[in-house]
């Protein structure tokens, strides 16, 4: 215990210095001004989503406060099976698709990364450092360069001459085909973040557990996992927002299988070829925003803690 308190002391001092810097009146006012300006467009979009189509095209959203004509027409249009949206069953199937894509694409990398991070941090084996740096370095590979080769792997496999190295996986156009790229591209950052956090856990805890005869798996499950919740939660927010908002991977890997498109891929289409129904974008954008907001606010208390995880030693 004494060790823990000793470790905490300098952190507390840092914290106070930060509080001093950001706690001044000038900083508070600046932060409020930035926050308000940042929120205005979203507020405008929100107000617009409740205005009738005619008024949206006639004048700006601020007229909402002068002539508050509220309507839910924009919301009912996107959920009902109408012809205006060009989507036969409304957007609900695509909202569900977004969940079906996002939830596993968050769980998979976190599960793998937590285990990998523990392994790289606490299980010493030959080349573990090199492996860690290798994974860390993989972050510099931009996702864009890997899209077409990956899609080729899914549809055609890998061949050298006539020799099949990897057979065609036939997972393009399935949910697996989207979960996999998201997992792959999340892993380097996830492992890096969690490794930094997990490696900063007190060595005494692990040693005590080892002395008591705990296996690596027990240590991982009973000590590392519960202590890593802030870091895991922070990364969950990151990954959830990234996958939920992702358009590129979804468009590339859902291919022509419209039935597995996430909401994102359908949003722009609601406005129509000539943008004649762009009032539908306001309401659908809000449906799109609500979910990440819920995720963020329910996990935000971990966010800053998790972000700083491992950065202050």
Partner 1 sequence: MAISKKNLLLGGSSAVVIIVVAAVLVATLGSSSGKNGTSAANCANVGTGYAVQQGKTVEVFTSVVGDELTRYQTASADFTACTGIKINWNGSDQFEAQLPVRVTGGTAPGLALVPQPGLIAQMVATGKAVPAPSAVKANVDKYWSASWSQLGSVNGTFYAAPNSANLKSLVWYSPKQFAKYGYTVPTTWTQMMAQSDKMAAAGQTAWCGGIGSGGATGWPATDWLEEVVVREAGATVYNNWISHKVKFSDAPIIHAMNTVWSWMGNSKYVGKVSTIATTSFQDAVTGIPSGGCMQLQQASFIAASLPAGSVVSPTGDAWVYYLPGISSKVTTPVEGGGEFYLAFNSNKDTVEAQTFFSSPQWAIARIKAAGSNGGWLSANSGVPAATYTNPLDALSAKYLSDPNSTFVFDASDAMPAAIGNGAEWTGFTDWFANGTPVKTVAARIDSAWPAGN
Residues lying near partner 1 in the complex (CB under 8 A): 83-86, 88-89, 93, 96-97, 99-100, 103-104, 107, 147-148, 151-152, 154-156, 172-173, 175, 221-222, 225-226, 229, 247, 251-252, 255-256, 258-260, 265, 268-274, 276-277
| Least gap, CB of 252 to partner 1 (angstroms) | 6
CB neighbours (10 Å) of residue 30? 12
Give whichever of 52 and 86 is closer to partner 1, judged by the CB atom. Answer: 86
Give whichever of 168 and 289 is closer to partner 1, judged by the CB atom. Answer: 168
Give whichever of 36 and 96 is closer to partner 1, judged by the CB atom. Answer: 96
Give whichever of 68 and 259 is closer to partner 1, judged by the CB atom. Answer: 259
| Least gap, CB of 295 to partner 1 (angstroms) | 12
Cβ within 8 Å of residue 8, ≥6 positions away: none
Give whichever of 64 and 197 is closer to partner 1, judged by the CB atom. Answer: 197
Q: Which helix (H) or strand (E) holds 158?
A: strand 158-160
8 Å CB contact between 114 and 232:
yes
Rounded to 5°, angle at Cα 220 from 214 and 221: 90
| Angle, helices 92-122/229-245, rounded to nearest 10 degrees | 140
Strand partners, 164: 159
Rounded to 5°, angle at Cα 113 from 310 and 133: 65
Give whichever of 195 and 277 is closer to partner 1, judged by the CB atom. Answer: 277
| Least gap, CB of 67 to partner 1 (angstroms) | 22
8 Å CB contact between 118 and 209:
no
- From the number of C-beta atoms within 10 Å of its C-beta (0-12, 13-18, 19+), residue 102 rates as buried
CA distance 179 to 222: 28
| Least gap, CB of 143 to partner 1 (angstroms) | 13
Q: CA dist 225 to 110, 115, 136, 248, 273, Å?
A: 11, 9, 21, 32, 50
Give whichever of 132 and 238 is closer to partner 1, judged by the CB atom. Answer: 238
CA distance 139 to 133: 10
| Least gap, CB of 258 to partner 1 (angstroms) | 5
Reading the block at residue 104, the tokens are 């596993």
| Least gap, CB of 146 to partner 1 (angstroms) | 11
| Least gap, CB of 108 to partner 1 (angstroms) | 11
| Least gap, CB of 209 to partner 1 (angstroms) | 13
Give whichever of 52 and 269 is closer to partner 1, judged by the CB atom. Answer: 269
CA distance 255 to 243: 17
Reading the block at residue 278, the tokens are 């762009």
């Amino acid at each position: 215990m004494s060790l823990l308190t000793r470790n905490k002391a300098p952190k507390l001092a840092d914290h106070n210095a930060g509080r001093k810097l950001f706690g001044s009146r000038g900083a508070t006012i600046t932060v409020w001004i930035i926050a308000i300006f940042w929120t205005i467009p979203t507020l405008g979009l929100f107000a617009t989503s409740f205005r009738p189509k005619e008024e949206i095209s006639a004048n700006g959203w601020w007229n909402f406060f002068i002539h508050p004509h509220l309507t839910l027409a924009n919301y009912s249009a996107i959920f009902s099976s109408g012809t205006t949206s060009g989507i036969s069953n409304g957007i609900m199937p695509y909202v569900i698709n977004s969940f079906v894509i996002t939830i596993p694409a968050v769980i998979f990398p976190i599960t793998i990364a937590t285990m990998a991070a523990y392994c790289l941090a606490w299980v010493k084996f030959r080349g573990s450092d090199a492996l860690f740096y290798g994974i860390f370095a993989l972050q510099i590979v931009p996702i864009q360069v890997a899209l077409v080769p990956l899609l080729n792997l899914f549809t055609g496999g890998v061949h050298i001459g006539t020799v099949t190295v990897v057979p065609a996986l036939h997972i393009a156009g399935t949910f697996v085909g989207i979960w996999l790229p998201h997992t792959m591209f999340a892993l380097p950052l996830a492992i890096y973040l969690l490794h930094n956090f997990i490696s900063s856990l007190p060595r005494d805890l692990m040693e005590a557990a080892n002395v008591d005869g705990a296996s690596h798996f027990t240590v991982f499950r009973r000590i590392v996992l519960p202590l890593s919740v802030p870091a895991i939660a922070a990364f969950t927010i990151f990954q959830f927002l990234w996958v939920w908002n992702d358009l590129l991977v979804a468009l590339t890997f859902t291919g022509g299988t419209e039935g597995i498109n996430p909401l994102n891929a359908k949003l722009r289409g609601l406005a129509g070829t000539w943008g004649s129904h762009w009032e539908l974008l306001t309401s659908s954008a809000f449906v799109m925003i609500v979910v990440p907001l819920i995720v963020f606010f329910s996990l935000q208390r971990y966010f800053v803690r998790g972000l700083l995880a491992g950065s202050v030693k």
